[in-house]
């Protein structure tokens, strides 16, 4: 004998199944959003730190190659950071940068050291840092951020930035080689050594 369940029972079960499915979808969407938020936060921190140290190179550098590297980074990374923050807002992804993690503490120590140095000592310290920082930035974007990004637009954007970062790295390597040959020290100018670095505002949601 075939038992036909009342329509109300079927409707209730259908709604229950639909509710469970919706919960699962919402949970997965939240998980994806959380991953993208982490990617945005790391990318934001890298860019803001690079801008801050590069601004010192522009004003405190004593060689043309060092000032050129600083100017290139500031001019490229400021609009890039604006773009990625706008993308996060457009995608409805809120995030905050951890200013107390190891990378933040290391950056603060670096900035203090840079502020304490002048002349050729500053130039060498900045380029040494920037060379290592750029390699780390590229590796992080390539090996971590792109694989972890869930939104296709974000993933594609990060992939496109790699080319720009690799161009930066080649300029930094050239500047380092030039400085080591002392040819970059021919054009010095007077600096205001009390100049404070450009601090890029934290993201606003």
Scored b (16 or more CB within 10 A) or e, 70-96 reads bebbbebbbebbeebbebbeeeebebe
Question: What are φ and ψ of residue 98, in 5° steps?
Answer: -80, 105
Domains of the chain, with CATH numbers? 33-92+100-185 (1.20.1260.10)
Per-residue pLDDT tens over the stretch 143-202: 999 999 999 999 999 999 999 999 999 999 999 999 887 544 444 443 444 444 444 445
pLDDT per position in the chain (205 positions), as tens?
Answer: 555 555 555 455 555 544 444 443 344 444 447 899 999 999 999 999 999 999 999 999 999 999 999 999 999 999 999 999 999 999 999 999 999 999 999 999 999 999 999 999 999 999 999 999 999 999 999 999 999 999 999 999 999 999 999 999 999 999 999 988 754 444 444 344 444 444 444 555 5
- Measured at the CA of 111, the angle between CA 113 and CA 185, to 5 degrees, comes to 65
**Torsion sign (Cα): 135, 136, 141, 147:** positive
């Amino acid at each position: 004998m075939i038992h036909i369940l009342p329509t109300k029972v079927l409707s209730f079960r259908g709604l229950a199944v639909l509710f469970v499915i919706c919960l699962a979808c919402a949970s997965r969407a939240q998980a994806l959003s959380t991953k993208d938020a982490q990617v945005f936060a790391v990318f934001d921190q890298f860019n803001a730190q690079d801008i801050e140290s590069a601004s010192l190179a522009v004003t405190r550098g004593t060689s043309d190659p060092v000032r050129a590297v600083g100017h290139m980074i500031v001019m490229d990374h400021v609009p890039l950071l604006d773009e990625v923050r706008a993308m996060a807002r457009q995608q409805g992804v809120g995030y905050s940068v951890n200013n107390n993690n190891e990378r933040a503490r290391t950056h603060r120590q670096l900035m203090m050291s840079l502020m304490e140095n002048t002349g050729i000592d500053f130039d060498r310290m900045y380029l040494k840092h920037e060379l290592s920082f750029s390699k780390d930035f590229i590796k992080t974007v390539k090996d971590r951020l792109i694989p972890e990004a869930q939104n296709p637009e974000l993933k594609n954007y990060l992939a496109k930035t790699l080319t720009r970062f690799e161009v930066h790295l080649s300029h930094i390597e050239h500047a380092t080689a030039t400085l080591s040959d002392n040819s970059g020290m021919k054009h010095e100018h007077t600096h205001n050594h009390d100049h404070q670095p450009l601090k890029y505002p934290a993201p606003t949601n």
